Copies of this chain bind each other. A is one copy, B any other.
């Protein structure tokens, strides 16, 4: 088995599906397009299908499901319930050193936003949120959150980044506020700001999604 080729196919197809919502994927055509053999491409599709990013139609192939509003609601409910729980559990153990690391992630977010490098912007946003999960060390929560964050970026690639940068700046400001309350050991305010941040993220993604839908329907 060639794991490397399959991993390469996985990364390429994952990028590709950002722009083909609602379309069918033929393994044979994908294989030609990305110039990787049939078997590793099929393995990559199986993996994407297991992760819920594409759907398998037995005997036919795969398709990229349309992202529905309900999906955003589900993602952010997960982030609210499990994210807040984990944040609350680790809060008493957070030190100034942790705050410094998180501030660095935030600085990187600013830098990449200025460079219009949205993938690295998301990378550091993910590092910020997963930091608390890694400290808490429940592998089920961490793996699931990791997956959920990827899905949520997958949605936002089509929306927030293509709409306006103000929203991303707001997210960075909200991170700073959370850090302020961690530094001053104000648990109640830190958690309140954490929840507000998740709620705002949800609103931002949903708004961008509808703007984008509108844009699409105008250009057709």
Query: Nearest Cβ in chain B — how far from A136, in angstroms?
Result: 10
Q: Which of B50, B59, B139 contacts A47 (CB 8 A)?
A: B50
A150-187, CB < 8 A from B = none
Q: Which of B42, B51, B85 contacts A81 (CB 8 A)?
A: B85
Query: Nearest Cβ in chain B — how far from A198, in angstroms?
Result: 14
Whether A58 contacts B148 by the Cβ 8 Å rule is no
| Alpha-carbon separation in the docked complex, A148 to B144 (Å) | 11
Known interface pairs A3-B58, A82-B81. Does A74 touch B139 (Cβ–Cβ under 8 Å)? Answer: yes
| Alpha-carbon separation in the docked complex, A46 to B4 (Å) | 14
Q: List 22 A-B contacts (CB under 8 A).
A: A1-B27, A1-B42, A1-B59, A3-B56, A3-B58, A39-B39, A43-B46, A46-B46, A46-B47, A47-B50, A50-B51, A73-B138, A74-B139, A75-B140, A77-B140, A78-B138, A78-B140, A78-B141, A81-B81, A82-B82, A140-B148, A144-B144
Chain A contact residues, majority secondary structure? helix
Q: Which 5 A-B pairs have the closest CB atoms?
A: A3-B58, A50-B50, A74-B138, A74-B140, A78-B140
Query: Nearest Cβ in chain B — how far from A144, in angstroms?
Result: 6
Tell me which residues across on chain B come within 8 A of A141, comparing CB atoms: 74, 77-78
Tell me which residues across on chain B come within 8 A of A78, comparing CB atoms: 138, 140-141
| Alpha-carbon separation in the docked complex, A81 to B140 (Å) | 12
Contact with B along A45-85 (1 / 0, CB 8 A): 01100111000101100000000000101110110011001
| Alpha-carbon separation in the docked complex, A77 to B138 (Å) | 8
Tell me which residues across on chain B come within 8 A of A140, comparing CB atoms: 74-75, 77-78, 148
A16-56, CB < 8 A from B = 27, 39, 42-43, 46-47, 50-52, 56
| Alpha-carbon separation in the docked complex, A43 to B42 (Å) | 10
Known interface pairs A46-B47, A81-B85, A82-B81. Does A3 touch B59 (Cβ–Cβ under 8 Å)? Answer: yes
